Amino acid sequence: MELITILNHCHRHRGFVYEHARFGPDKKSIEVDVRPRQGAATVCSGCGKAAPGYDHLPERRFEFIPLWGFLVFLLYCRRRVNCRGCGVVAEELPWSDGKHPSTKAHMLFLARWARRLSWQETAEAFHTSWDRVCEAVEYVVGWGLEHRTLEPIHAIGVDEIQYAKGHKYLTLVYQIDQEITRLLWVGRERTIESFQGFFTVIGEQLASQIEFVCSDMWQPYLEVIREKCSQALHILDRFHIVAKMNKALDEVRAAETRKMARDGHEPLLKKSRWCVLKRKENLTFKQQLRLRDLLRYNLQTVRAYLLKEDFQQFWKYNSPHWAGMFLDFWCRQTMRSRIEPMKKIARTLRAHHALLLNYFKAKKQFSSGVVEGLNNKAKVTMRKSYGFRTFRILELALYHSLGKLPEPELTHEFF
Ligand SMILES: [Zn+2]
């Protein structure tokens, strides 16, 4: 079986024929000549209609999917047409988008691998450069964003992610419907303006159909949601509240440890960090003993720990009313604790009383985890980054791995 036969089978285009396959001068690549099929019409790349030929451009190499360790190139002299509507323009090529030196098939091939491997690994595995892989992802993501269907969107989650040193953040908006979870949008910074950008993209009509919004307590997000999605039930993300509480507890513990050392006390809190931060059921046996020991002392850390543990009950309620009663009770108790970081939490929770109870009104269907799970995937994508430090590249990589975007179709599945 000849290479031409295989190509005709898997990458056939009406109007063109493969003519001759041979090794390139370096013997490391294969070159295949392509020529127009006799009698087939030339197609204008401007309007997609048939148009009379005008002249030829010089021969170009279009990189194709590598085969058995050989790079493969299609060689073709692109024609220009004299179109009635568009004037003299280049003809339409079914295998190329006209801008890139790679064929569509090759770009799709690289982009799919770039989802599994890092971009650098992809480049190395298929004897190409990081830039070429980046171009491929850019092409596939661009196509996907243009062809994706946004509606209907019932539920969204918004979260921020830190992407570089010096407090550089991205705002990520996810769709978190039962049927589909995907990344919808990436914005620079986490300001009111950046989050508003998402609503500009989806338009007022789609925004007005959103029923649930999950977010953390970041003020700019709260404001934008109030303004753009006032009809939606706004739920505060459980994960973030738990995280905030752990942070407060850790502050208390660190400060108390320092104070005890300063005052020359026995270092009671040594190695206690994970005993109090981890969930009880995740403690090792040793940590359990350590915790039991610790709880005998009247320390600020212990009292803060008990408040934190007590708060777990909040999530177990089903009725918003009783959850609300519990929340009030917990906050009153905490405000009397004289532990400043915990009091700060209580004040924040009080300020967001109504939003917190929305979690129960939504019947807990958007509990913890959905947004957080997606955000963890986003972090993994960033970690796989070798040089994703610019916003543009990071944006591409995130859409590529989390956007569930449609892909340009090929007549054959190459991989
Ligand atoms: Zn035209």
Q: How far is the CA of 88 from the centre of ligand 1 (A)?
A: 8
> Max Cα separation, the chain?
96
Q: How far is the CA of 58 from the centre of ligand 1 (A)?
A: 21
Q: How far is the CA of 140 from the centre of ligand 1 (A)?
A: 25
Long-range CB pairs of 310-313, under 8 A, 24+ apart, other chains included: 311/245
Q: How far is the CA of 50 from the centre of ligand 1 (A)?
A: 8
CB atoms within 10 A of CB 109: 21
Q: How far is the CA of 64 from the centre of ligand 1 (A)?
A: 27
Q: How far is the CA of 89 from the centre of ligand 1 (A)?
A: 8
Q: How far is the CA of 87 from the centre of ligand 1 (A)?
A: 7
Q: Name the pTM for this structure.
A: 0.82
pLDDT score of 410 more than 90: no
pLDDT at 386: 57
Q: How far is the CA of 351 from the centre of ligand 1 (A)?
A: 61
Average pLDDT over residues 325-329: 93
Q: Can you tell me which residue has the tokens 């925004």?
A: 207
pLDDT at 174: 93
Region of poorest pLDDT, from 72-76, 103-107, 281-285: 281-285
pLDDT at 387: 60
